[in-house]
Amino acid sequence: MVVAAGALVDLEDERTDLTEGGVRVQVIDGDPDRLAVLARLYAQLESGERLVADRYAMGIGMHRTGPAAIWKQYVGPPPLPSDPIEQKLFLAQYRVRRRDVEDAVDQMLGRDPEQHRPPGLAWETLICRLANAGIEVTERQLIGLPFRCEFSAPLRAELAP
C-alpha cells in the first residue's frame, strides 16, 4: 500500500538525460534569466520501500528573479512592504525560492485547487511504475497522499535562502 508520494527535483543541465524517442528535450534554451527544473516522482510504501519512476514526470521553466519568479503568490518572510513603491522594488529583487518550485510541482500534479489545473496531470510515470510492481492506484488517490519535494544539492544552491 502507498502511504506517501514525492518528487525528486533537480536542475536541468547538459548532463540531464531527458529524451523522447531518443531526442534530447530542453525545458529552456540556456537563458541565464530562467531556471529549468526536472522532477522524478516516487511512492513510499507501507513496508518502507520507495519506488521511483524510471522517467522524469515533468520539466518546468521558471524565472530566476523578479515578480515572475513567484509561481503562485508571495509568501514571506519578510512580509511584503505595504507601500506600493517599496513593494515594487522588493519584488524586482525577488529570487526564486523553494516554495515557488514546490508550488510549480503541485500545479503540475493537480495538488493545489487554487492553481490552474493542467488538462493532463504528471502522475503517469509513477502510476506506471506502481502498476509494474502490482500496485493499482489512481491520480485522485495519489493527490490525497502526504507529499514531499526533495531537492538536489545543485538546485538548493540555486534557490534563495
Domain boundaries, the chain: 2-158
* Phi, psi for 63 (deg, rounded to 5): -75, 145
Residue with the bigger pLDDT between 16 and 86: it is: 86
Q: Which residue did the predictor score with more confidence, 85 or 15?
A: 85
According to the model, what pLDDT value does residue 22 have? Answer: 54
Q: Which triple of cell numbers denotes residue 140?
A: 485522485
Rounded Cα–Cα distance for residues 81 and 94 (Å) = 13
Q: Mind listing the pLDDT tens digit for each residue in 123-140? A: 999 999 999 999 999 999
Per residue in 148-157, pLDDT (tens digit) is 999 999 999 9
* Partners of 2 in beta bridges: 45
116 DSSP assignment: P
Please name which of 147, 148, 57, 71 lies closest in space to residue 116, comparing C-alpha atoms.
71
Strand partners, 97: 160
Using 50, 70 and 90 to split pLDDT, how confident is the model at 160? confident
Q: How far apart are CA 117 and CA 128, in angstroms?
A: 21
Q: 160 versus 159: which is more confidently predicted?
A: 159
Percent of the chain predicted with pLDDT > 70? 89
What is the per-residue pLDDT for 89?
A: 96
Question: Across-strand partners of 108?
Answer: none
Q: What is the mean pLDDT of residues 48-66?
A: 94
pLDDT band at 26 (very low <50, low <70, confident <90, very high): low
Inter-residue contact 23 to 60 (CB < 8 Å): no
Q: Between 146 and 26, where is the model more confident?
A: 146
